[in-house]
């Protein structure tokens, strides 16, 4: 909790734009002081901070690459220096493979890049946040929320690295939730489906057609705000006993159908 404002503190990685910014906005609307991270400190990042502050809360931006594990302590120190200890951590930062290559043709560089951010970096940052939470007990339950993907269970053979990284995150959530449940720290996984963001800009026509053909029962693209709604609900201390829950935010995409 922010010692100055008395508000709970949230950290959202990859919060400059897209899903991350929508999540940060949702938490700010709910009265959280919010820190966001990204790899660049630019006009986009500063505009995001101003947008968050417009909700009447404190906001901060800390540049840092999730892939750089030794730098995690600096990032968390910077967040705590401005806002205070973290009550809700949202692991959202992620990348797609630099090249979409068939599973039989993909490269070590492709694999290592995706794993470095999406799995290795995400795991060790969540570990660091959890250890800081344990070092400063709270009477109010806290939460770690991992934004993964429907790709944790659905195969894409031209970007299997991404799918593997998200499947790995699913086990990270299970492991952390089991480890931290007795300490009043809930851990959740949110799995977006087909969401209209910068990451999907290159496949809009493809998925427009597939959605028209019935791929998504809800008959539409997901929006970043759909993910934000799920995350803000899980951030509520009242749902701590639901730790380990996976929430599919995909309009029914992953429902098994005949």
Token pair belonging to 5: 């404002």
Q: Write out the chain's pLDDT in tens, 258 residues.
A: 877 789 999 999 999 999 999 999 999 999 999 999 999 999 999 999 999 999 999 999 999 999 999 999 999 999 999 999 999 999 999 999 999 999 999 999 999 999 999 999 999 999 999 999 999 999 999 999 999 999 999 999 999 999 999 999 999 999 999 999 999 999 999 999 999 988 777 789 899 999 999 999 999 999 999 999 999 999 999 999 999 999 999 999 999 998
Is residue 191, in this structure, part of any structural domain at all? Answer: yes
Annotated catalytic residue: which of 32, 61, 113, 162?
162
Is residue 254, in this structure, part of any structural domain at all? Answer: no
Is residue 71, in this structure, part of any structural domain at all? Answer: yes
Instruction: For residue 87, give the CATH number of its domain.
Output: 3.40.50.720
Is residue 2, in this structure, part of any structural domain at all? Answer: no
Is residue 70, in this structure, part of any structural domain at all? Answer: yes
H or E element: which one contains 35? strand 33-38
What residues contact 154, with CB distance under 8 A and at least 6 apart? 163, 253, 254
> What are the two backbone dihedrals, phi and then psi, of residue 40, each rounded to the nearest 5 degrees?
-130, 135
Is residue 170, in this structure, part of any structural domain at all? Answer: yes
Our count of domains for the chain comes to: 1
Is residue 221, in this structure, part of any structural domain at all? Answer: yes
Token pair belonging to 200: 């999907």
Range of the domain at 210: 9-248
Is residue 255, in this structure, part of any structural domain at all? Answer: no
Indicate the pTM of the whole model. Answer: 0.96
Q: Is 207 a catalytic residue?
A: no
């Amino acid at each position: 909790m922010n010692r100055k404002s008395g508000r709970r503190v949230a950290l959202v990685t990859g919060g400059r734009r897209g899903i991350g910014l929508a999540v940060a906005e949702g938490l700010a609307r709910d009265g959280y002081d919010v820190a966001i991270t990204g790899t660049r400190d630019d006009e986009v990042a500063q505009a995001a901070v101003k947008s968050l502050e417009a909700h009447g809360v404190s906001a901060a931006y800390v540049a840092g690459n999730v892939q750089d594990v030794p730098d995690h302590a600096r990032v968390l120190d910077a967040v705590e220096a401005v806002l205070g200890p973290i009550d809700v951590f949202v692991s959202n930062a992620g990348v797609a493979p630099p090249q979409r290559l068939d599973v039989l043709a993909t490269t070590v560089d492709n694999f290592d890049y995706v794993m470095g951010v999406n799995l290795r970096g995400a795991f060790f940052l969540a570990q660091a946040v959890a250890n800081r939470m344990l070092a400063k007990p709270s009477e109010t339950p806290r939460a770690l929320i991992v934004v993964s993907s429907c790709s944790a269970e659905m195969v894409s053979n031209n970007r299997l690295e991404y799918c593997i990284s998200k499947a790995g995150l699913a086990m990270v959530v299970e492991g952390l939730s089991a480890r931290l449940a007795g300490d009043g720290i809930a851990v959740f996984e949110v799995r977006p489906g087909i969401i209209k963001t910068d990451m999907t800009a290159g496949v809009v026509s493809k998925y427009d057609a597939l959605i028209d053909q019935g791929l998504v029962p809800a008959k539409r693209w997901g929006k970043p705000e759909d993910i934000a709604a799920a995350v803000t609900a899980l951030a509520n201390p009242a749902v701590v006993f639901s730790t380990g829950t996976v929430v599919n935010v995909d309009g029914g995409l992953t429902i098994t159908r005949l």
